Amino acid sequence: MTTVRPFRIDIPQADIDDLRDRLSRARWTAPLPGAGWERGIPVAYLRELAQYWANEFDWRAKEAALNAFPQFITEIDGLDVHFVHVRSPEADAVPLLLTHGWPNSFVEFTRTIGPLTDPRAHGLDPALAFDVVIPSVPGFAFSAPPREPGMTTARVAAMWATLMDRLGYDRYGAQGGDLGAYVAPELALAAPEHVIGVHLDGGIGMPTEDDVPAMSAEDRAQWAQMQQWMTGGVDHHALLRAAPQTFALGWNDSPIALLAWMMQKFQEFAYTADRAEDVIDRDHLLTDIALYWFTQTTGTSSWPMYDGLRDGGGFGWPTDQNLVPTGVYGGGSPLMRTLAERGNKITHWPSGNPGNHFVAMEEPAAHVADIRAFFAELR
């Protein structure tokens, strides 16, 4: 049960042909009155994107690129866990576990693996390099789904601690954004004697209504922007908490429905851009979406919403931990740092880093630079 087995992606050609056939036979709805995205994804835009997915997107090329990274499967707590494991050519590399978000996958980090593991080849100081481990969260991509209710980010973190021990790593860092920003602090709580530090893309120090009276004008302006982002768009937490099975039936059967849903969410997460593909390469987005389609994981990946991100269920911000240092890529206002420091040992809080929600996809160079800056302080 502790065996680590090599793994390669090999999607059957029949599945690729079936996807193209389904895309070609789509029954399109008429566009509703309104402009832009105010009623959802524009039909004309989605039709063009679907045509590109069917006729120009080269899955086999993307599959070969993903298979260039060593991948493995091992069983943990009765579930097969898929993971990428790339060792650095540099001596004394720091082991680093990266946890992806939703609606994402290990594809999220593919453009950062090279600079993290082989900085010398990318014009960076080789004195700091990383062995990178990127597991697929249970229910995502090639990892087995939870078999019963009750999966939480704390349980995932405990599985990650087992994985790192199985790989022979005694001291390592943890990093994540979105769903990964919930798992990484839980990993520090699960194995504080092994975790060097936790680097997050964001999600801590978030104010509540109780904090509003003490806010400065700058704080209030940022709070208004946060409220607009948190309450705008489609609330996937509410939707998938209420009826994940119902919606997954549509997404699993229709690639058009899946494409519309995923691009809707990526659009909302790219909140400062006109279109998600203005900041994330179209093929990069479609590689992630195709992975959901081929692995049929739109339903099984919904557990963070219907089981709850934390013990006890429901939505809440990532759990505080002050056992190891925390660094944040997009720190936010001084108020947010003050709030974050109530329950976290903040040692890295930069300002001005570029990017929206999925910064590893949008700004891989900046993401790598910030991870390096944080962990350089902890060596």
pLDDT at residue 158 above 90? yes
Q: What is the pTM of this model?
A: 0.95
Residues 18-28, mean pLDDT to the nearest whole number: 97
Residue with structure tokens 């849903």? 261
Residues 120-128, mean pLDDT to the nearest whole number: 98
pLDDT at residue 314 above 80? no
Is 10 considered catalytic here? no
DSSP character string of 224-250: HHHHHHHHSS--HHHHHHH-HHHHHHH
Q: How confident is the model at residue 287 (pLDDT cuts 50, 70, 90)?
A: very high
Catalytic residue (one of 172, 357, 367, 370): 357
Q: Which residues pair with 71 in a beta bridge?
A: 7, 84
Residues 91-115, mean pLDDT to the nearest whole number: 98
Residues 2-21, mean pLDDT to the nearest whole number: 97
Is 357 considered catalytic here? yes
Q: How confident is the model at residue 366 (pLDDT cuts 50, 70, 90)?
A: very high
β-pairing, 94-99 vs 79-86, is unpaired
pLDDT at residue 312 above 70? no
- CA 201/CA 192 separation, integer angstroms: 20
pLDDT at residue 299, rounded to an integer: 97
DSSP character string of 271-288: TTSSSGGGTS-HHHHHHH
pLDDT at residue 308 above 70? yes
Domains annotated for the chain, with CATH where assigned, are 4-25+39-376 (3.40.50.1820)
Neighbours of 287 (CB within 10 A): 20
Tell me the pLDDT tens digit for each residue of 208-261.
888 888 888 888 887 887 777 666 689 898 999 999 999 999 999 999 999 999
Q: What secondary structure, in 3-state letters, does 304-357 show?
A: HHHCCCCCCCCCCCCCCCCCCEEEECCCCCHHHHHHHCCCCEEEECCCCCCCCC
Residues 337-363, mean pLDDT to the nearest whole number: 95
Tell me the pLDDT tens digit for each residue of 261-279.
999 999 999 988 999 999 9
Catalytic residue (one of 100, 118, 131, 178): 178
Catalytic residue (one of 182, 292, 306, 329): 306
Is 306 considered catalytic here? yes
- CA 65/CA 48 separation, integer angstroms: 25
pLDDT at residue 1, rounded to an integer: 63
Average pLDDT, the chain: 94
